């Protein structure tokens, strides 16, 4: 009997209670253009139908092996390590059961290995949102071109790309250094990848996609990935613990020169994710978060802070100063150009600081100095204001009464009424609702606007999606458009409306955005015949003429 040839690559699929998605992940491996592979399904002692599904898959393809752990480990490391110990191929890859490999992933990464001796190869990761299907590339600037690096010092930015699943490793490299996934902790990828980067003598990056990462941003708390469980304080502790392990490794491995780059990555990526959630956390959580985070933040390189945008430095310092209510306010503006409610200028030197007083310490004065935001000198279209809804009241029909307060800390607006409008565009046409902002005191204006959602112009074939109203201010022939922050506590409002524009009926939901800045959010969902017949047909038809015909039918049937 001819012996079975050794596989070129072993791909480990880790799974736990994921019987529904495991077949999809394995199917992506069976579609690989390079077929001489070994597939190891490593089951972290699932309690659902995963064992039956895995055995059925194994029966369908002789390349598949099934490994079941005797007890649940509670993480990704143990199932990966156990599979790694049994792997028969000289090259290894890892796949999570809720993700996929693109068809040429194994072929492309293996070809790079065969060009020259490398410790690992890596490629682009496609992020795919499960709710919308939208695709984007993870860290695209790091994988934009093909290149071979002689160590991580050639490009320390790669510390941001800490996924173990985007890479194909030479097993000899892992064995030579005893490189395994750390067991008993979360964020194991970050430590494993940091070690791999530092230990590798050479690795090649290719720009082609080699991993499809499915993102479920609105998964329930018990089903969310570890990264999406940031509401748990244990999650914060785990992340800080791993960072300390990485710091220790950098020193012992002789890569201490990377510390500032690694600290910058932590501030810009890891802390930044928590910062965006701060407006949604209660006082007890915020206090505990600061107690966990602040001792570690004090150890980071000052140069790492200096590389951050000013708004991120402000949030960090407010957390370090335990000004947690102010940290909430600052966090709502991250990434959106939202101004502070108030700033204070030191009469001694003219420096402008976040908040209602000049900071006490040298560090706080350095980090809370917002002079570089140019609040009083930016061109008006790019000026920074802060628009907050202070009261939201349902009115008859599909109307809302909004009380709005605008903060102008740079004193860009003259005293007096301001020509303002609320903008909403769920379709190609925009609803514009004019109103006035009236001065309350220097730098603060208030106004009231009535928004009738039934007047929003929609396509005849309906609209399914989410929009966030904007606020526009006119001044001396120029206009400024900014986002509208909602109260985070108002209850979700849902109603069915018939639009004045003649569009089909819709269910409309008004709510605060569930993350990030917390903008006012409005969601439309078609109802009736349009939802059941017309829109499903229109989505399957690409030709413009047929789309216009579908819209005509929709207008007749509505």
**C-alpha distances in Å from residue 413, one per residue of 353, 385, 438, 476:** 20, 10, 11, 10
DSSP output for 212-237: EEEE-TT--TTTS-GGG-TTSHHHHH
Give the mean pLDDT of 50-59: 97
Query: What is the per-residue pLDDT across 238-260, written as a single tens digit (0 to 9) for each?
Result: 999 999 999 999 999 999 999 99
- The interaxial angle of helices 233-252 and 283-297, nearest 10 deg, is 0
State the burial class of residue 26 (Cβ atoms within 10 Å of its Cβ: 0-12, 13-18, 19+).
Answer: buried
Contacts for 36 with CB less than 8 Å, ≥ 6 apart:
5, 7, 8, 9
Residue 405 to residue 382: CA distance in whole angstroms: 19
Average pLDDT of the residues of the chain: 91
**C-alpha distances in Å from residue 82, one per residue of 58, 69, 131, 172, 195:** 18, 8, 33, 16, 19
Query: What is the per-residue pLDDT across 492-532, written as a single tens digit (0 to 9) for each?
Result: 999 888 755 556 889 999 999 887 789 999 999 998 765 55
Q: Is the pLDDT of residue 46 over 70?
A: yes
**C-alpha distances in Å from residue 471, one per residue of 412, 419, 426, 478:** 16, 11, 15, 14
Contacts for 322 with CB less than 8 Å, ≥ 6 apart:
287, 290
Provide φ and ψ at 216, rounded to 5°: -115, 85
Provide φ and ψ at 307, rounded to 5°: -85, -5
Q: Is the pLDDT of residue 321 over 60?
A: yes
Which of 115-129, 169-183, 419-433, 530-544 is predicted least confidently?
530-544
Answer for the pair 525, 531: CB distance below 8 angstroms, yes or no: yes
Rounded to the nearest angstrom, the gap between the alpha carbon of residue 114 and the centroid of all alpha carbons in its chain is 35
Q: What residue spans define the domains of the chain? A: 9-212, 230-373, 381-551
Record the tokens describing residue 384, joined without a space. Answer: 């920074």
Give the mean pLDDT of 357-384: 96
- Residue with the larger pLDDT of the pair 539 and 213: 213
Side-chain-facing half-sphere of 427: CA atoms under 13 Å? 20
Answer for the pair 122, 161: CB distance below 8 angstroms, yes or no: yes
Residue 270 to residue 238: CA distance in whole angstroms: 12
Q: Which CATH architecture has domain 381-551?
A: Sandwich (2.60)
Q: Is the pLDDT of residue 282 over 70?
A: yes
Q: What is the pTM of this model?
A: 0.89
Q: Is the pLDDT of residue 223 over 50?
A: no
Contacts for 547 with CB less than 8 Å, ≥ 6 apart:
461, 538, 541
* Strands (DSSP E) found in 455-530: 465-467, 470-475, 478-483, 493-497, 506-512, 520-526
Quote the DSSP letter at residue 445: E
Answer for the pair 404, 484: CB distance below 8 angstroms, yes or no: yes
Q: Is the pLDDT of residue 230 over 50?
A: yes
* Strands (DSSP E) found in 348-430: 352-354, 386-395, 399-407, 418-424
Residue 28 to residue 100: CA distance in whole angstroms: 6
Record the tokens describing residue 175, joined without a space. Answer: 């064995």
Record the tokens describing residue 116, joined without a space. Answer: 């020259």
End-to-end CA distance of the chain: 70
Record the tokens describing residue 488, joined without a space. Answer: 């985070």
pLDDT of residue 497: 86
Record the tokens describing residue 134, joined without a space. Answer: 């939208």
Contacts for 555 with CB less than 8 Å, ≥ 6 apart:
460, 502
The neighbouring-strand residues paired with 521 are 511
9-212: CATH number: 3.90.550.10
Residue 186 to residue 226: CA distance in whole angstroms: 8
Rounded to the nearest angstrom, the gap between the alpha carbon of residue 354 and the centroid of all alpha carbons in its chain is 27
Confidence band, pLDDT 50/70/90 cuts, at residue 60: very high
Confidence band, pLDDT 50/70/90 cuts, at residue 221: very low
pLDDT of residue 557: 45
Provide φ and ψ at 378, rounded to 5°: -60, 150
């Amino acid at each position: 009997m001819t012996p079975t040839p050794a596989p070129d690559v072993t791909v480990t699929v880790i799974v736990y209670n994921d019987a529904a998605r495991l077949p999809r992940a394995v199917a992506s491996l069976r579609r690989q253009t390079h077929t001489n592979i070994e597939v190891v399904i490593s089951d972290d002692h699932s309690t659902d139908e995963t064992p039956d599904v895995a055995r059925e898959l194994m029966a369908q393809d002789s390349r598949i092996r099934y490994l079941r752990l005797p007890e649940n480990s509670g993480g990704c490391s143990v199932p990966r390590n156990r599979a790694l110990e049994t792997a028969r191929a000289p090259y290894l890859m890892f796949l999570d059961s809720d993700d996929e490999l693109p068809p040429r992933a194994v072929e492309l990464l293996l070809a790079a290995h065969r060009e020259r001796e490398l410790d690992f190869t890596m490629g682009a990761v496609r992020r795919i949102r499960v709710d919308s299907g939208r695709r984007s590339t993870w860290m695209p600037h790091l994988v934009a071109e093909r290149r071979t690096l002689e160590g991580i010092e050639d490009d320390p930015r790669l510390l941001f790309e800490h996924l173990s699943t985007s890479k194909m490793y030479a097993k000899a490299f892992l064995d030579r250094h005893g490189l395994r996934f750390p067991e008993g902790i979360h964020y194991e990828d970050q430590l494993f990848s940091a070690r791999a980067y530092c230990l590798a003598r050479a690795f090649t990056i290719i720009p082609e996609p080699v991993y499809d990462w499915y993102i479920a941003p609105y998964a329930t708390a018990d089903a969310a990935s570890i990264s999406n469980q940031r509401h748990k304080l244990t999650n914060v502790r785990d992340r800080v613990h791993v960072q300390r392990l990485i710091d220790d490794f950098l020193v012992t491995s002789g890569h201490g020169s990377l510390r500032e780059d690694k600290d910058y990555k932590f501030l810009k990526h890891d802390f930044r994710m928590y910062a965006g959630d701060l407006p949604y956390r209660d006082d007890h959580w915020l206090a505990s978060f600061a107690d966990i985070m602040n001792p570690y933040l004090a150890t980071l390189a000052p140069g790492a802070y200096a590389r951050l945008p000013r708004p991120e430095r402000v949030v960090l310092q407010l957390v370090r100063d335990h000004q947690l209510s102010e940290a909430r306010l600052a966090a709502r503006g991250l990434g959106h150009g939202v101004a502070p409610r108030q700033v204070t200028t030191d009469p001694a030197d003219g420096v402008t600081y976040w908040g209602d007083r000049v900071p006490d310490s040298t560090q706080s004065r350095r980090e809370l100095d917002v002079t570089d935001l140019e609040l009083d000198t930016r061109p008006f279209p790019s000026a920074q204001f802060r628009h907050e809804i202070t009261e939201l009241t349902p009115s008859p029909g599909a109307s809302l009464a909004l009380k709005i307060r605008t903060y102008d800390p740079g004193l860009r607006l003259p005293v007096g009424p301001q020509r303002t409008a609320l903008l909403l565009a769920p379709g190609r046409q925009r609803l514009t609702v004019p109103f006035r902002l009236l001065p309350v005191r220097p730098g603060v204006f208030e106004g009231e606007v009535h928004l009738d959602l039934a007047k929003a112009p929609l396509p005849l074939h309906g609209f399914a999606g989410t929009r966030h109203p904007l606020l526009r201010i006119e001044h001396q022939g120029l206009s400024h458009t900014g986002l509208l922050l909602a109260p985070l506590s108002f209850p979700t409002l849902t109603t069915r409306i018939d639009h004045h524009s003649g569009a089909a009926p819709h269910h409309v939901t008004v709510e605060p955005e569930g993350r990030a800045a917390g903008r006012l959010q409005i969601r439309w969902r078609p109802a009736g015949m349009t939802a059941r017949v017309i829109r499903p047909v229109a989505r399957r038809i690409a030709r413009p003429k047929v789309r216009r015909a579908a819209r005509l039918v929709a207008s007749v049937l509505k």
